[in-house]
Structures are given as C-alpha cells and as structure tokens.
Amino acid sequence: MAEARPTAVLRLLERLGRASASGLEAVGFGATLLSDSFWWIAQGRRHGQVVRAAPVFAEMMAIGVRALPIVTLLSGTIGLMLALQGIYSLRQFGAEQQVVLGVALGITREFAPLITGILVAGRSGSALAARLGTMTISNEIDALRVMGVNPVRFLVVPSLLALLVMLPCLVLWSELVALAAAGVYVAGELSTTFGVYVQQVNRAVTVSDLMHGLGKTAIFSVLIALVGIIDGSAVKGGAEGVGRVTTNAVVHSIAAIVFTDMLFVFATTR
C-alpha cells in the first residue's frame, strides 16, 4: 500500500495538469473566437464575407423574444420572493420601511442579471452547443469551409451579436417585472401605495446601479456564446457526444457566469 500512494498522487497531479492545460486551451480558443468575430464584423465585407442581418434577427428572436414568457414568470416570482424575505428579516428590528432599498438594489444590481443570465445560458447556450455539436459530427462545418464560407462569420457572429443585444434587453425587462411584483406586495404589506413605492425605488436606484447590472450582463452574453461554441465544437462521437457537450455547456456557462459575477462585484464595489 505504501508504494501505491505516490502513484495515486502522481495520477492526481497529472489529471490536474491536464485539466489546467485544457482549460487554458479553451480560454485561448475563446479569445481567438472573440477577436475573430469582431474582425469579421468589421472586415468581412472587404473579403466578400458579409455578416448578414437576417440570421442575427433570427437568433435575436430565438434567444430574446421567445425567452420573454419564462423570464417574465421567473422575474415576477423572484421580485415577490425578495420582498417577502426582505420584510421578514427587516421586521426583526422594526426596519421594514427600508425594504424598498434592499429590494430595488438587489434586483437591479444582482438578481435580474444573474437569473436572466442563468436562464439564457440554460436555454440558448445549450442550444448553441447542441447545434455546433450536431453540425460538427455531420460534417456541416467542413461543408461550410469547403464552400468557402468562414464558420466563425456564418455561425458564431450572429449568435454573439444576438446575445449582446438581447440579454441586456431581457435583463431590463426582468428588472421592471421583478420591481413591479415586489412593489405590489410591499405596497399591500406596508399599507402604502404603488405610487409611493415607485418614488422610493426612483430615489434608491441610480444610473450607476443600472449600469452595474447591465455591464456584467454584457460580459455574461459573451460568456454564454463562447462557452456554447467552445463546448459544442469539442464534440466527440455521435448523438451521445452531442448530449454530453450540451450538458457541459450549461454547467460551464452557469459556473462562468456566477464566478464572473463575483469577480465583477468584487472589482466594482469595494
């Protein structure tokens, strides 16, 4: 047994090393994809590879508009939940009148971007990975290349642009719905009016709070697009492989969103 331990440690180290190397590789690939995407947006026309508007709008429809019902439902629920919890905890020292500040800042700075980001990662990041994975195993990416069509310009750019536009829109909508749902409960529970609640929210939330939420939303959009594409194009094997990369994409993008969120808050609020 004594001589088994070093090999186990070595094996663990080797796995750690391999994981780090592949992680670094993915980060490098992501950076290349991102810079390539912006290069094609700017220079594509000069090289006869135009980024077309129609696929961007189609993606915006799929990523943004079709997500509206579920975003609305979840945001309303979370707004209500925050108001409930806020009043419950503040009542312990008789400060429930301050609940609006907590709810308004919590929603605009944290909850709306995070929940919407996670939701879109689950809906669209996975769809992106599944599509890229399927296209890779059925030679569709090769077909694009031999047709002289750049896959980054044709497949990556529309999704990236659509996410960059639609995710902030969804987050703004989510903030509105969550604040309204919280307001309905707060106004009833604290016996004020909805109008007073709106005034209090107006006083509590500044432009910089909104920008804090939207700023990280922009980063989330890029993360969801890149993780979906990197995981999707790493597909191996057949249909089972596509299932695996789809799961990976959801897990990785949600992890990336939460982790980036923490870093963003750490860097901007201290």
Partner 1 sequence: MTVALPTSTRPTVIEVNDLVTHYGARRILDGVDLRVQQGEILVIMGGSGSGKSTLLRHLLALEKPTSGRISLLGHDITQMNQFELYALARKMGVAFQGGALFSSMTVGANVMLPLREHTKLDHGTMQIMMRLKLEIVNLAGFEHLMPSELSGGMIKRAAFARAIIMDPALLFCDEPSAGLDPVVSAALDELILRLREALGMTIVVVTHELESAFRIADRITVLDGGRILATGTVDEIRGSSNPRIQNLLNRRFEEETLDPDAYLARLTGEGAPVR
Residue 39 sits in the site that holds partner 1 (CB under 8 A): no
Candidate segments 120-128, 132-140, 188-196, 238-246, binder of partner 1 by CB under 8 A: 132-140
Residue 131 sits in the site that holds partner 1 (CB under 8 A): yes
Of 48, 69, 92, 269, the residue at the interface with partner 1 (CB under 8 A) is: 48
Candidate segments 45-53, 79-87, 163-171, 192-200, binder of partner 1 by CB under 8 A: 45-53
Cα-Cα-Cα-Cα torsion 63, 69, 74, 77, nearest 10 degrees, comes to 160
State the minimum distance, in angstroms, from the CB of residue 245 to partner 1. 17
Give whole-number Cα distances, 16 to 11, 12, 21, 164, 231, in Å.
8, 6, 9, 34, 19
Describe the chain by its helix, strand, coil percentages, rounded to 5. 90, 0, 10
State the minimum distance, in angstroms, from the CB of residue 62 to partner 1. 11
- The amino acid at 152: V
What string marks each residue from 60 to 79 as x (binds partner 1 by CB under 8 A) or -?
--------------------
State the minimum distance, in angstroms, from the CB of residue 9 to partner 1. 26
Residue 96 sits in the site that holds partner 1 (CB under 8 A): no
Residue 123 sits in the site that holds partner 1 (CB under 8 A): no
Of 47, 91, 203, 236, the residue at the interface with partner 1 (CB under 8 A) is: 47
Distance from C-alpha of 228 to C-alpha of 254, rounded to nearest angstrom: 11
State the minimum distance, in angstroms, from the CB of residue 158 to partner 1. 12
State the minimum distance, in angstroms, from the CB of residue 144 to partner 1. 8
Cβ contact 78:102 at 8 Å: no
State the minimum distance, in angstroms, from the CB of residue 147 to partner 1. 5
Distance from C-alpha of 242 to C-alpha of 177, rounded to nearest angstrom: 35
- Which residues inside 102-121 make contact with partner 1, applying CB under 8 A? none
> 137 vs 196, which CB is nearer to partner 1?
137
- Which residues inside 136-195 make contact with partner 1, applying CB under 8 A? 138-140, 142-143, 145-150
Candidate segments 22-30, 72-80, 130-138, 259-267, binder of partner 1 by CB under 8 A: 130-138
Q: Sign of the C-alpha dihedral, residues 61, 44, 133, 148?
A: positive
Phi-psi region of 63 (alpha: psi -120 to 50; beta: other; left: phi over 0): alpha
Phi-psi region of 255 (alpha: psi -120 to 50; beta: other; left: phi over 0): alpha
Cα-Cα-Cα-Cα torsion 117, 118, 122, 127, nearest 10 degrees, comes to 20
CA atoms within 13 A on the CB side of 47: 12
Residue 90 parent element (H or E): helix 68-91
Give the footprint of partner 1 on this chain (CB under 8 A).
Answer: 47-49, 131, 134-135, 138-140, 142-143, 145-150
